[in-house]
Each structure stands twice: as structure tokens, then as C-alpha cells.
Amino acid sequence: MYKVGVCGHLAFGEQFNSGQKDKTMSVYSALYESLGPDEVTFLDTRNWKKSPVKFAFQCVKLAKECKNIVILADFNGIRVLPFLFEALNVFFKRKLHFSFIGGWLIEFLQKRPKITKALKKLDCVYTEVALMKIELENLGFTNVYYMPNFRKMRILTPEELYIPESEPYKFCTFSRIRYEKGIEDAIEAVRYVNRTLGRVACTLDIYGLPDDDYKERFNELQKSFEPFIRYGGFVDSTHESFDFLSTYFALLFPTKYKDEGFPGTIIDAFCAGLPVISADWKYREEAVVDGVNGIVYNGDDQNKLKEILLQTVQNPDVLNQMRINNLNRAGEFSSELGVAILLKTLESSTKPEETL
């Protein structure tokens, strides 16, 4: 029997810009490396709706073979998986864990008492945001743990830091590509700076995959790209990604989502010592602290983003002095620290001290 089975979006061998896939893979890989192949297995939820009966039998098999089941789910999965595994647990009596991705859970649960009740019955619920742990406890949860989003990482040394000191200053985005991620705001802000200064003072490289419903729009946008705006395609979040990110002036994170959790791309920036220019969101302060490791603005104010880019290009020291602060934070999100919390709860229902 396996010690743990991971149930989530893994999509081995496929390219996805997805916080759900990235986190599921990080959890699975960390458990696999810590416990070994004889103790860890998985069930990939990719496209489960296309064959729901087959998927249900796979869930039965997972429950039969594993002492612990770690579930990572999105909007759709949270409506099904806790109920399904609780029903199976009538027979198998396994320890059930739910690791939450993003920052939308509180508002979601406030309107769905049945799902709230189901999650409260699980042995462990993990959140990547410390404030959300408190909010869940205020909703009556007694099984909630703080487990930060984490990465298998290589943190640059201070000696490896790249300090841009001359134009053009290179900005980048490194996330899903869709309107709600603020891609068009980033494009217009870089155009504004160069148009205002009358020269190519900065560039923008866009990395990631466009969502299916945004591909047509993004293809049209690319036709109008000036030479200082480039689509760099998909880059997986790996050790190498931290190295290539370190060559940039700043990461742009102009998200319009108010329900972000702790985005993995921010951790990538930490490892690379890369300052972040970020729109605000509910839990943003746990990730980007204005004036410390980045600059924060109201995501609804596109003109403010333009002003910030112009000011930083004219005074690059504002961002350059923040680089070491990001390096200093990166270690908080290592896979070793993150999986240590999960490993303790696999063995016991007692909360580890560091999560309190």
C-alpha cells in the first residue's frame, strides 16, 4: 500500500500555464523525492469530465491503495472530489487532505454551505495564504493548516545578481496570457514609456501560453507588436527559469483578478532577485510589499502603471535596490520547507508547531 496518493491536475508531458498544474506538480514531486516511488502514486484529473465513470473507478482504486489522499482541485473539482472521497471513506477509512490553490475560497464557501461542511469533515485543509487560514478558522474550520506555495528552486547568490544600469530596460510577464492577467495593460504601458521619451527606453517580453478563449485576441495583438515587444513562448517554471528571469529589470504582474492567492510567478521572481511591479489584490501584501520587493498600484488604474514604468526607467535605482530583498525571501518557499509540513500531517492529525 502507498503512503500517499496525489489527486490533481498533473498533465505529464503537456504544456500548461496553470497555477493548479504547477502546484500539483510541486506537491507530487516533493512527496516523490522525499518518500520514494514505492510510497507515492497519483491520479491525474486532467479531462476527467470526458470519462466520469472511468474517473470514478480510478478514485476507488486510489482510495483502496493509499493511506493518505492529497486532493488539489479547482472550481470544478471542489464541487465533486471532497464528496466523492468522503463517500469512499465509508469503506476505506483513509486520511483525506485538501490543498487549496489561489485566493477565491472564502467567498466561494460563504455561498456554498454544503461544500463548506464537506471540507470541514476532511482531516486536513491547506492554504497557501496565512490570512486565509485565519479566515477559514473564523468560518468554523478546525482542520486548516498554512502550507506556503513552494518551488523546487535554485536561489541566485547576491554575487550572481544582474543590476541593469542602462537602456533599454527589460520588463517581462511570466504567467497565463489572458486579458484578466493584465497583458494588454503591460503592452500599453511599455508603449507609453517609449512614446513619451521618444526612444526605446524599455522592452517587454511576454512568456506563457494564451488561454484557449484568448488565443484569437492575442494573435491579433501580436500583429501590432513593435520590435520592442516580443512574445517569448512557453517557459516551464524550472531551475533554468530563475536564471533567465534574473536578466530582466522587473517582472510585471498587472493582474485584474482580485482572488489571486500566492502566485507561483512571484516565487520565481524571488529566486531570481527580480523586483515585481504588481497590481493589488486581497492577499497581495503577503507576496509583494510596496517599496520593499516591488511597487504596488491599483490594477484598475492603467495610467498608474504607465507612470510607474516611466519613473523606474528614469530612476532605475528604485528597483535595483530591491533585488537583494527578494533573494532574502526566496528560501521561505522552498519545496523542502513546504513538503515538511505536509509530511508531518500525513503521519498525525496533530498540527505541526510551525503552522500555528
pLDDT of amino acid 287: 96
pLDDT of amino acid 152: 86
Evaluate whether 205 touches 227 at the Cβ level (below 8 Å). no
Evaluate whether 318 touches 312 at the Cβ level (below 8 Å). yes
What is the arithmetic mean of pLDDT over 342-355?
65
Calculate the CA 64 to chain-centre distance.
31
12-53 confidence digits (pLDDT tens): 656 555 677 888 999 999 999 999 999 999 999 888 878 889
| Neighbouring-strand partners of residue 233 | 207
Outline where DSSP puts E strands in 64-127: 66-73, 95-100, 124-127
What are the residue ranges spanned by the domains of the chain? Answer: 2-150+334-355, 158-332
80-90 confidence digits (pLDDT tens): 999 999 999 99
Say whether pTM exceeds 0.85.
Answer: yes
- Tell me the helices (H) and strands (E) count for the chain, helix number first: 14, 12
Residue 237, phi then psi, degrees to nearest 5: -80, 95
The CATH classification number of 2-150+334-355 equals 3.40.50.2000
- Strand ordering across the sheet containing 276-279: 229-233, 202-207, 169-174, 250-253, 276-279, 294-297
Nearest to 248 by CA among 158, 328, 325, 323: 323
Question: Does 193 have pLDDT greater than 90?
Answer: yes
Question: Does 162 have pLDDT greater than 70?
Answer: yes
Q: Which percentage of the chain shows pLDDT scores above 90?
A: 81
Q: What is the DSSP string of 255-280?
A: ---S---S-HHHHHHHHHT--EEEE-
Domain 158-332 in the same topology as domain 2-150+334-355: yes
Map 27-44 to HEC letters: HHHHHHHHHCCCCEEEEE
pLDDT of amino acid 77: 86
Sign of the C-alpha dihedral, residues 168, 247, 226, 192? negative
The CATH classification number of 158-332 equals 3.40.50.2000
